Structure formats: structure tokens, C-alpha cells
């Protein structure tokens, strides 16, 4: 069943605490944009004339190195804003965004959003909370990629997803193992070997995208 725009807005942390009337006002400013699997939403360097809220599907934000190798920075799901930072800085999009699966978004034009914030300071506070959370995520990602070996990165990711999914026993990977390899800064073959090694060590049990955590402390010590 398709969610109404108002319901999607209410599920977004950016708009927490707004009244029903304010939510209705916002719904009149945004419009739906749909994307097929693999379709580009924006390219690095494009003008940031607005941002997106994922209403269904998944969107990856990534960068390409000079050799054409892709590195995934983040994967966003329903209720999450995408591309909101450049809206404030008036800078171009600093990375690329692409639909991982058939996806639907709500697009918020920059000029309308800025005017909305001027009249609703609480949204600015929510935005600060969202940006702070993103900053912590990227700081952790940088630390993992620069200081930790791949097994420790994978262990940390599984524990993080378990916390996000509020299930410490079984984790459902939100992306393919190939995409997870890119997110962790490695290649699929290396990731597969680490999954197999962790299974042999009795840390996890792997069934497709379903990962059962058998030894939480063991993962924490990786």
C-alpha cells in the first residue's frame, strides 16, 4: 500500500515534532520523483537545487576514484533525507546518488525549504541533529577504513546493523554482499573469505543475507 506524503514526512527525523497543519503545509511544497533500479538521481558536481526524502526503495551515495572504482559512502532507506547538506552550503552535490532498487522519493526544492526553516526554527534544530548523526557515522567510517583491518570493519558493521534493526540475534543485510564490500572498502572475494572465516570461528552463521550472531563478544573483539 502506497504511503501518503504526510505519513512519509512524519516518519522523517527532519520533521519530528511538527503539527499536523505544518506537515500538511510541507506536503504541498514537495513532489514525487520515481527512479528505476540503477537510475542516477544526481551526479557529483550537479547544482544542489533541493534534496530528497526516500519514500520507498534504497538509494546509494557514492564517489568514483580516478580509476573508475566505486566507493559507497552511505545507503539510505525510507524516511531518510538525501543530499540535504549542499542545500545549506549552496555548493554542488559532493557525490553521486543512484537508486539501488526501484525507488520513490519526495523532492524538496531548496528555496521552499529555506523559507520553511525561517518560519519554523524547530526544523533547523532537527536538521542539526540529523547532520550531527551523519557526522558521527562518517567519522566512524573514516576510522574503520583508515585504522581497522577488514574483519574488524565487518564485525563493527554487523553490530551496528543489529543495533539499528533492534535485533541482536539476527541481522538482515540491507544490501548485497558486493555493495557491502564497497561500503567497507574491500572487494567481494575478500569479504566472502572473511564471512567464511567468521563462520568457521563460530562468530556468525550465514544464510544468504541473513546473518545470525553467535558470539557477540567475539565480534566486539575483532
Classify domain 5-137 at the CATH topology level: Jelly Rolls (2.60.120)
Render pLDDT for 72-101 as a digit per residue (tens, 0 to 9).
Answer: 888 888 888 898 877 777 789 989 999 999
Render pLDDT for 158-207 as a digit per residue (tens, 0 to 9).
Answer: 988 888 788 878 999 988 888 889 888 888 999 999 999 999 999 999 99
pTM of the complete model = 0.69
Residue written as grid cell 538525501: 82
Domain coordinates of the chain in residue numbers?
5-137, 148-220
Architecture, CATH, for domain 148-220: Orthogonal Bundle (1.10)
Q: How far is 6 from 9, CA to CA, in rounded Å? A: 5
Joined together, the cell numbers standing for residue 32 give 514525487
Phi-psi region of 58 (alpha: psi -120 to 50; beta: other; left: phi over 0): beta
Amino acid at each position: 500500500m502506497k504511503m501518503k506524503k504526510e505519513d512519509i514526512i512524519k516518519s522523517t527525523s527532519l520533521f519530528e515534532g511538527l503539527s499536523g497543519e505544518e506537515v500538511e503545509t510541507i506536503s504541498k511544497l514537495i513532489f514525487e520523483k520515481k527512479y528505476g533500479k540503477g537510475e542516477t538521481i544526481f551526479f557529483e558536481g550537479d547544482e544542489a537545487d533541493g534534496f530528497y526524502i526516500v519514500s520507498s526503495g534504497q538509494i546509494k551515495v557514492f564517489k568514483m576514484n580516478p580509476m573508475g572504482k566505486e566507493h559507497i559512502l552511505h545507503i539510505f532507506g525510507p524516511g531518510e533525507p538525501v543530499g540535504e547538506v549542499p542545500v545549506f552550503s549552496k555548493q554542488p552535490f559532493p557525490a553521486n546518488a543512484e537508486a539501488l532498487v526501484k525507488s520513490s522519493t519526495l523532492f524538496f526544492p531548496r528555496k521552499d525549504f529555506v523559507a520553511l526553516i525561517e518560519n519554523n526554527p524547530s526544523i533547523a534544530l532537527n536538521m542539526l541533529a540529523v547532520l550531527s548523526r551523519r557526522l558521527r557515522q562518517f567519522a566512524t567510517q573514516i576510522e574503520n577504513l583508515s585504522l581497522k583491518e577488514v574483519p574488524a570493519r565487518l564485525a563493527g558493521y554487523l553490530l551496528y546493523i543489529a543495533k539499528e534493526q533492534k535485533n541482536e540475534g539476527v541481522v538482515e543485510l540491507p544490501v548485497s554482499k558486493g555493495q557491502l564490500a564497497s561500503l567497507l572498502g574491500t572487494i567481494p572475494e575478500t569479504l566472502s573469505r572473511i564471512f567464511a572465516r567468521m563462520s568457521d570461528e563460530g562468530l556468525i552463521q550465514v544464510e544468504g543475507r541473513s546473518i545470525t550472531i553467535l558470539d557477540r563478544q567475539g565480534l566486539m573483539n575483532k
